[in-house]
Chains A and B, each alone.
Chain A
Amino acid sequence: MRASDGNRLFQTSIAFCAWSGIASIILFIIGGVLLGGMIPPLLAPDDPPSEFVRKVSEHLLAIRVGSVFLMLSFALFGAFGAGIAAQTRRAETFPVFSYVQLVFTAAGTVVALLVAFCWALMVFRPDVYHPTTVQFLADFAYFLAVFSVPVFGGWCVMIALPIFLAESEAAPFPRWVGYLNLWAAVLFAPGQLVLFFKHGPFSWNGAVALWLPFIAFFLWILIMCIVLLRIAKGRTSASALN
């Protein structure tokens, strides 16, 4: 009786974490894609500072409202990551990887929240700030988002390791989820190229350094959430919880 209560609570909380992830994707699409001009990028790294001010001033209200949505979206990463860690925790006798995962989750959440802070400050008073400050805040936001490869890539690797190292009967996720996480980590990697280029596909508005990591990241969240929802829908037995 108690075991089945615990099971139900576990399933509910895992479903909560999965829906947090899905909500964060939807909120990002509203805040970053439709309103905020983060992707597709409104700004370009080779624009002069005055051009940054002109563009953000034209879309002041949209970017401000978008930043609020971005903040909400990124704050939900924590619940999403904790749900995954809770599931890998069940397969580990000594939950070292799950703990490391939580550290990466927390670090990733903070880095992502700072993206929203920069985006909001950029449109707080662009007419008063020196134009290079506006440019700097945009640079900083994109650097936080895509230059932070080891934080988000490390998170994925820490999810993959306990899956691969578990005995196949005790694996917390199907093994393909492990490969998916490694692939996601590889896709985030080109983000580090933004330091070396100010135009072209490897700069922070380019196909390889911006689009690839962003699409991979939100696709990764979506697939992980679907897998978590399947687990929440009782593909686990009560005995497996012990």
Chain B
Amino acid sequence: MASPGPKTMPLTGGATQKKAVVFEANGGKELRLSGETGIWIFVVGDLAVFTLFFILIMLGQREETAAFATSRAMLNVGAGVLNTLFLLTGSWFVAMGVERYRSGHLAKARRDLDFAILCGLAFIANKCSEWASKISAGLSPATDNFFMYFFIITGIHLFHVILGVGVLLYMRALTKHDSVSSLDVLKLESGGLFWHLVDLLWIVLFALFYLL
């Protein structure tokens, strides 16, 4: 945004031009952040918010260690492990898909994204069944502070996963274009970054809720 553009400056300048500026600034060497600059605002911003959540959980843990331990014992570690596997596998497929798109293998990239979407849906289904079993066992956000954090924060995370599946569907639609374009590469990388963020946040939440 700060670097002055050429004379034919558009209204504010777009992603492709930005990329060109970065490219020149590196002496013609391809050395740039993955995805659009803007997605990093979102990623860093979301990390900051979840850091607040992590701190809240840890403060609760410190203040009510015994109560947290009792409540934690009621969680099903298997469900947590399964969900971690779903997201990690999904991340692997997303990374493969973006790489294959870059090298022009559109159909293969689309298949990778199909598997990633399936992993996301499996996470959502597993999360819902886990919640349903907790609620039918009489546990709710009103039970205690541990379950308040558990339901609300994993709920906010689940909302991210649902958004992420939407992003993956959009990425999949991009692979249906006839050819690879540099703007679409940026969009796919940005979408991939969002998915990795969702994955990363879950790994920390998994440790804080199930393992401590």
Q: Which residues of A contact B (CB under 8 A)?
A: 90-91, 167-180, 182-183, 186-187, 189-190, 193, 196-197, 200-202, 207-208, 212, 230-231, 235-237, 240
Contacts and interface: CB of A to CB of B under 8 A. Distances in A.
Contact of A183 (B10, B42, B152, B159): B42
A168 B39 contact: no
A140 to B, nearest CB: 23
A171 B14 contact: yes
Contacts of B16: 168
Nearest to A223: B41
Specify the main secondary structure of chain A where it touches its partner. helix
A169 B14 contact: yes
Contacts of A189: 156, 159
Interface of B: 1, 9-17, 36-39, 41-42, 45-46, 49, 52-53, 56, 141, 145, 148, 152, 156, 159, 183
A176 B52 contact: no
Contacts of A183: 41-42, 45-46
B41 A176 contact: yes
Given A186-B46, A193-B152, A207-B52, A179 B39 contact: yes
A170 B49 contact: no
Instruction: For the complex of A and B, list the 6 residue pairs with the smallest distance between their C-beta atoms, beginning with the closest.
Output: A168-B14, A176-B38, A179-B38, A169-B10, A183-B45, A179-B42
Given A180-B42, A183-B42, A200-B145, 19 more contacts: A90-B11, A91-B11, A168-B14, A168-B16, A171-B12, A171-B14, A172-B11, A178-B38, A179-B36, A179-B41, A180-B38, A183-B41, A196-B141, A197-B148, A207-B52, A208-B56, A212-B52, A235-B12, A237-B9
Contacts, number: 82
B162 to A, nearest CB: 12
Contacts of B49: 186-187, 212
20 contacts: A91-B11, A168-B10, A168-B15, A168-B16, A168-B17, A171-B10, A171-B13, A171-B14, A172-B11, A176-B1, A176-B37, A176-B41, A180-B41, A183-B41, A183-B45, A193-B152, A196-B141, A200-B145, A207-B56, A240-B11
Given A235-B9, A237-B9, A175 B52 contact: no
Nearest to B55: A207
A189 to B, nearest CB: 8
